[in-house]
Structure 1
Amino acid sequence: MTEQRPGNPAPKGTGQEFMERTKYRYIGKSDQEKGIRQPPLELPPDPAIPLFSLPRPDSLEIPPVDLRMAIERRTSIRTYAREPLSLDELGFLLWCTLGVKTIHGNLATLRTVPSAGARHAFETYILANDVDGLVPGLYRYLALSHRLQQTDTDPTLVIRITEACFNQQFMFRSGAVFLWTAVPYRMTWRYGERGYRDLHLDAGHVCQNLYLAAEAIGCGVCAIAAFDDDEMNRILGINGRDQFLIYLATVGKKGE
């Protein structure tokens, strides 16, 4: 039974129970405190599938944008021009959302977004609908080496993903869809069950960077939190426990 304290009513719903049971007073020793070896900083790529490098961020000529202007102009955009994203632009957005600035051996990475304890528990998948130089399909971003690996070329992917996101039709018209999955043990190894809260906080950091970075290249973004969890995990080929989809966002060139 959940411990109750004076003035602390019993949780009445799943969300309230989550908030209650992830309070620090319920969190015991973490696996880090127990001396258990930490999980890898990134899921390994499939050795049977080729990798290809993205243009280095410092080699790109991205127009400067005033931060205040980017914040003021930031809004969710669901209408996109029929214009492809370039590979340079996609690489820039990937670097701005989870790009690695410094690697500290196999212990931690410092990236372009904050993360609790620098745990960075996300993997990024890209559904390329209209990106110059990419065959339409699903790719995984390997942040440690700034490379991509194609994971699925099924031509019905965009249809299946759109249906699993409750038929939000603007997904068809986007140049690309960013799909962020969480690898929870990367976070809970240090923070125990409290780490599940941190995953959702980190998702906000990543997506906001996408919104702001997109302003520099004339793109619009729309975050998506409405999706069928089980179906999306099946589409991505993950089990929903050791890795699960946490957030999505469409990106495309702004229309008139």
Structure 2
Amino acid sequence: MTDIVPIPGGAGREFMERTKYRYLGRSDQENGLPQPPLELPADPALPVIDLVPPEKIRVPPLDLRTAIERRHSVRSYERETLSLEELSYLLWCTQGVTHVHGTQATFRTVPSAGARHAFETYVLANDVEGLEPGLYRYLALSHRLSRGKADPALHAAVSHACFDQTFVMRCNAVFLWTAVPYRMTWRYGERGYRDLHLDAGHVCQNLYLAAEAVGCGVCAIAAFDDDAMAGILGIDGTNQFLIYLATVGKCGEDRT
């Protein structure tokens, strides 16, 4: 390993420097340590909700070029319910599992460094057909939802933790992606933290494009209080932390 030298500047510059390959030692994978699970286990005490299977989802066809040209952030939403089938489609498009390679890897609808797929997807349902308002977690391996906090006022807490961006309370659902960093760093060491942020962009762009097919708009949010969001999600903020979130809502012709 190359000797570490002092770095002038802020934390961001130091992060980029310290995660260069020349500073990395052997990863836990190279040292023979067992890999972490492909997915966090579901709490057996919580109810599980079946989603529409991917092969049975029916959405209007949309040309890819049209979706790309129309894509932009939308913060104003209509008072129209998002169907469970539409939610199933959006979840599958952003983290859907297309193939499981034993206990070693999953291949999904988005790319991930080394097929590590270190994200867990939470959904804050505000107005989704058949779902009580509150928090859910997507179980990607089985394409189901695990029930979390049932709280119709939770959207206000999430909005406040996003520095009072009020459109969070007016959307149909909020997608919240948390990272389980060891799932990535087990293979790539500290360099894996860079990969987590790259993967977040892949996932959110899929949401933007997929939402166009179901008449929805999306707005990605990177401004949030990390500690407050960890408390809302019930995670420790270190071994699992929120990396990105986005609102999803029905929108009319005035897509602003």
Other structure's SS at 1:152 match: coil
Q: Does 1:74 align with 2:71?
A: yes
Other structure's SS at 2:148 match: strand
Does structure 2 conserve the Cα–Cα contact (< 8 Å) formed by 1:174 and 1:250?
Answer: yes
In structure 1, what is the equivalent of residue 207 of structure 2?
Answer: 210
In structure 2, what is the equivalent of residue 116 of structure 1?
Answer: 113
TM-score by length of 1: 0.96
Counterpart CA distance in 1 for 2:95 and 2:216 is 18
CA deviations over 1:125-160 (Å, ceiling 9, x no partner):
000000000000000000000000111012321111
Does structure 1 conserve the Cα–Cα contact (< 8 Å) formed by 2:49 and 2:147?
Answer: no
Taking the TM superposition and a 5 Å limit, the aligned residue runs for 1:219-238 are 219-238=216-235
Other structure's SS at 2:37 match: coil
- Give the aligned residue type for 1:223: A
Counterpart CA distance in 1 for 2:246 and 2:49 is 23
CA deviations over 1:197-227 (Å, ceiling 9, x no partner):
0000000000000000001111100000000
In structure 2, what is the equivalent of residue 3 of structure 1?
Answer: 5
> Between Structure 1 and Structure 2, how many residues are aligned?
251
- Give the aligned residue type for 1:175: N
Q: Does 1:129 align with 2:131?
A: no
Counterpart CA distance in 2 for 1:93 and 1:155 is 22
Does structure 1 conserve the Cα–Cα contact (< 8 Å) formed by 2:4 and 2:23?
Answer: no
- Give the aligned residue type for 1:193: E
Counterpart CA distance in 1 for 2:216 and 2:148 is 25
Counterpart of 2:240 (choices 238, 243, 251) is 243
Structure 1 stretches of 5 or more lacking a match?
5-9
In structure 1, what is the equivalent of residue 100 of structure 2?
Answer: 103
CA deviations over 1:45-95 (Å, ceiling 9, x no partner):
001112121001110111111111110100000000100100000000000
Counterpart CA distance in 1 for 2:57 and 2:103 is 28
Does structure 1 conserve the Cα–Cα contact (< 8 Å) formed by 2:126 and 2:152?
Answer: no
Counterpart CA distance in 1 for 2:143 and 2:233 is 21
- Runs of 4+ in structure 1 over 3 Å off: none
Does structure 2 conserve the Cα–Cα contact (< 8 Å) formed by 1:162 and 1:169?
Answer: yes
Indicate the RMSD between aligned Cα atoms, in angstroms: 1.0
Other structure's SS at 2:93 match: helix
Does structure 2 conserve the Cα–Cα contact (< 8 Å) formed by 1:11 and 1:20?
Answer: no
Structure 2 stretches of 5 or more lacking a match?
none
TM-aligned CA deviation for residue 167 of structure 1: 0.4
In structure 1, what is the equivalent of residue 139 of structure 2?
Answer: 142
CA deviations over 1:164-219 (Å, ceiling 9, x no partner):
00000111110000000000000000000000000000000000000000011111
Identical-pair percentage: 72
Q: Does 1:13 align with 2:10?
A: yes
In structure 1, what is the equivalent of residue 61 of structure 2?
Answer: 64
Counterpart CA distance in 2 for 1:43 and 1:245 is 15
Q: Does 1:155 align with 2:157?
A: no
More displaced stretch, 119-128 vs 56-65: 56-65
- Give the aligned residue type for 1:200: H
In structure 2, what is the equivalent of residue 7 of structure 1?
Answer: none
Counterpart CA distance in 2 for 1:11 and 1:212 is 40
Counterpart CA distance in 1 for 2:46 and 2:184 is 28
- Give the aligned residue type for 1:69: T
In structure 2, what is the equivalent of residue 37 of structure 1?
Answer: 34
- Give the aligned residue type for 1:137: G
